[in-house]
Amino acid sequence: MPNSCCPGRKGITLWFTGLPCSGKSAVADRVTDILKSKGFYVERLDGDIVRQDLTRDLGFSKKDRDENIRRVTFVSKLLTRNGVIVLTSFISPYKEMRSHARTQIGSFLEVYVKCPVGVCMERDVKGMYKKAIKGEIKEFTGVSDPYEEPENAELVLETDKETIEESVGKVLTKIEELGFI
């Protein structure tokens, strides 16, 4: 629903979910750049950045991960209802919390960034997967903590089979078809 400051602009949250190093941030960053260059109101909420300020008090237990997503959902809801296109990139491993985000935000598009764990490990420049396998990182999604795959994502990006530009194109096409751009 448009608001008085942004006539004709409808907000939506694009919720990028997937394993660590699946390509969530890379695709979301590129879509953000394109949308901003076209004059859209866009905000990026990225897991690594949000944890530096908004959720720095949280760890990686299930309880803390759920609280992290609850806070991000609240911020996304506020931005979305004010005509902003919000692109989030969070592992958000649990179906229940993604469902909660969808319900709370309303104008919501789940983007599953699907990539095999082996490919994610190859892309891991920080060495997180190796540390998790050695037991140096506890509760690491895809190794010692589960990732519950989305069953009904509106969009699935297979970043091991398509280029970043192909993935970006799929996102832009989808939000155009839905009338947000």
Average pLDDT along the chain: 91
92 given a catalytic annotation: yes
DSSP codes, the chain: --BTTBTT---EEEEEE-STTSSHHHHHHHHHHHHHHTT--EEEEEHHHHTTTTTTT--SSHHHHHHHHHHHHHHHHHHHHTT-EEEEE-----HHHHHHHHHHHSSEEEEEEE--HHHHHHH-TT-HHHHHHTTSSSS-BTTTB-----SS-SEEEETTTS-HHHHHHHHHHHHHHTT--
Over residues 34-50, the pLDDT tens digits come to 999 999 999 999 877 87
pLDDT the model gives residue 7? 55
Q: Which pTM does this prediction carry?
A: 0.91
The pLDDT assigned to 2 comes to 39
Query: Which domains are seen in the chain, by residue range?
Result: 12-115+146-177 (3.40.50.300)
* Mean pLDDT calculated for residue range 10-20: 96
Name the active-site residue from 22, 25, 76, 92. 92
Q: What is the pLDDT of residues 52-110, one digit of tens each?
A: 777 778 877 889 888 889 999 999 999 999 999 999 999 999 999 999 999 999 999 99
Of residues 65 and 114, which shows the higher confidence score?
114
At 8, is the pLDDT very low, low, confident or very high (cuts 50, 70, 90)? Answer: low
